[in-house]
Amino acid sequence: MKKKKNTRIISTLLLALFLMTAVVGALPIAAHASEDAQTQLLAEGMPSANEEQDKAAEEQDKAAEELNKATEALKQQIEDLKKQNEDLKKQNEDLKKIISLNIEGAESIPVLLYHHVMNEKDMTQEHRSNSNIVSTEQFEAQMKYLHDNKYYTASVEELEQFLDGRAILPKRTVVITFDDGYRSNTRYCYPILKKYGFKASIFLITGLIGAKQNVIEHATWTDLHRSADVFSFYNHSHDLHKLDSNGKSLMVTSAQSVIRRDILTSKGVVDSSYFAFPYGQSSATVVALLRRTGYRMAFTTETGYVGKQANVFGLPRFTITPLVTTEEFGKIISGAH
Ligand SMILES: [Zn+2]
């Protein structure tokens, strides 16, 4: 029995020894295993960090691209805004013009008077010394001057509205008129006026429409019809545009009944409310007859501006002669004459 007990003690001791050896032996193995795991983790961690970087770089590229896109869009918006700004500036200028037109309307207006027009090359010395003939070139230069200086060419109707307070005309306004009704007006002046978008008036000697008088041709009905988009036509007597031996107009010296008949005949040919006295000569009788036959305004050849208080049956005009230089013309239209 005692031997059996000893054997059991020895076995227990051996087992304890074995177990201790096993534990001690296992320690470095476990430590080694732990190191391996760490290496493994590090090895796995490396490719994972690279991928992250690539992804970040890709995202950065994408963001840069989007930023570029946004910058381009902004640039476009800026361009659009600039354009809108330009448009607004233009609208503002237009509005300013309208406002200044309404606030600072003309106080007095120059009415220009032309007669016959000839091309420079066709003019003789005699033509050049005729105060009633200007060259086409001179006329063209004057119209260009009006255009370049932004003048408004008002009609005679507008002048009437200005006088009775129904219309405000721009400060830079002129009224262009022609007396007698020469063919040169529709032939040479018409295209020039049309080119500049101007309007003008012709006071016709109705008895001479289509006639040839002293070699100078008068406009025909066809000429008048074809140029009616630029010209308005009014009266300048029918058959009394003549001078007596004393240099007096027959419109003034004739018997009242003759004058009356002439005025009515002329009005029967061209029905208008505006008249230009032949040779600019008027009389109380003629004015009274004009009033009675339905005329509302009449022009003389006296020099001066048409102010708001003007006598509507004695409206002055500036006769444009060949001697009127561009400088002189500028003074007339600017109100400095
Ligand atoms: Zn005349």
* 194 and 121 together in one domain: yes
167: pLDDT confidence band, cut at 50, 70 and 90?
very high
CA of 132 to the centre of ligand 1 (A): 10
User: Which of 81, 98, 123 is the C-terminal boundary of a domain?
Assistant: 81
Q: Which amino acid is at 278?
A: P
pLDDT at 150 over 50: yes
CA of 302 to the centre of ligand 1 (A): 13
CA of 206 to the centre of ligand 1 (A): 11
Euclidean distance between CA atoms 318 and 142, whole angstroms: 13
The answer to whether the CB of 145 falls within 8 A of the CB of 191 is no
Tell me what pLDDT residue 231 has: 98
Range of the domain at 295: 108-334
Please give the average per-residue pLDDT across 139-152, as a whole number. 97
CA of 276 to the centre of ligand 1 (A): 8
Euclidean distance between CA atoms 154 and 201, whole angstroms: 10
CA of 144 to the centre of ligand 1 (A): 25
Tell me what pLDDT residue 29 has: 45
| Phi and psi, residue 305, nearest 5° | -90, 155
pLDDT at 24 over 70: no
CA of 279 to the centre of ligand 1 (A): 5
- Specify if 98 maps to a domain: no
CA of 65 to the centre of ligand 1 (A): 80
CA of 300 to the centre of ligand 1 (A): 10
- Specify if 88 maps to a domain: no
* 212 and 121 together in one domain: yes
pLDDT at 75 over 50: yes
- Specify if 95 maps to a domain: no
| Phi and psi, residue 174, nearest 5° | -130, 155
pLDDT at 111 over 60: yes
- Specify if 101 maps to a domain: no
pLDDT at 181 over 70: yes
* 52 and 168 together in one domain: no
- Specify if 93 maps to a domain: no
Tens digits of residue pLDDT in 289-304: 999 999 999 999 999 9
CA of 325 to the centre of ligand 1 (A): 23
pLDDT at 280 over 90: yes
* 120 and 196 together in one domain: yes
Residue, of 5 and 134, whose pLDDT is higher:
134
pLDDT at 170 over 50: yes
- Specify if 51 maps to a domain: yes
Tens digits of residue pLDDT in 233-259: 999 999 999 999 999 999 999 999 999
pLDDT at 23 over 50: no
Tell me what pLDDT residue 102 has: 55
Which of 11-15, 85-89, 221-225, 304-308 bottoms out in mean pLDDT, i.e. has the lowest? 11-15
* 257 and 186 together in one domain: yes
Percent of the chain with pLDDT over 90: 72
CA of 277 to the centre of ligand 1 (A): 7
* 130 and 179 together in one domain: yes
- Specify if 113 maps to a domain: yes
* 307 and 239 together in one domain: yes
* 220 and 126 together in one domain: yes
Tell me what pLDDT residue 176 has: 98
Q: Which residues of 233-252 are buried (b: 16+ CB within 10 A; e: fewer)?
A: bbbbbbbbbeeeeeeebbbb
* 229 and 292 together in one domain: yes
| Number of domain units in the chain | 2
- Specify if 70 maps to a domain: yes
The answer to whether the CB of 308 falls within 8 A of the CB of 235 is no
Tell me what pLDDT residue 19 has: 47
* 48 and 140 together in one domain: no
User: Which of 64, 81, 98 is the C-terminal boundary of a domain?
Assistant: 81
CA of 61 to the centre of ligand 1 (A): 86
Average pLDDT score over the chain: 87
Please give the average per-residue pLDDT across 119-148, as a whole number. 94
* 8 and 73 together in one domain: yes
CA of 294 to the centre of ligand 1 (A): 21
Domain of residue 275, CATH code: 3.20.20.370
CA of 251 to the centre of ligand 1 (A): 11
Percent of the chain with pLDDT over 70: 83
CA of 121 to the centre of ligand 1 (A): 25
* 116 and 51 together in one domain: no
pLDDT at 6 over 80: no
pLDDT at 52 over 90: no
Q: Which residues contact 41 (CB under 8 A, 6 or more apart)?
A: none
215: pLDDT confidence band, cut at 50, 70 and 90?
confident
pLDDT at 33 over 60: no
Q: What is the pTM of this model?
A: 0.70
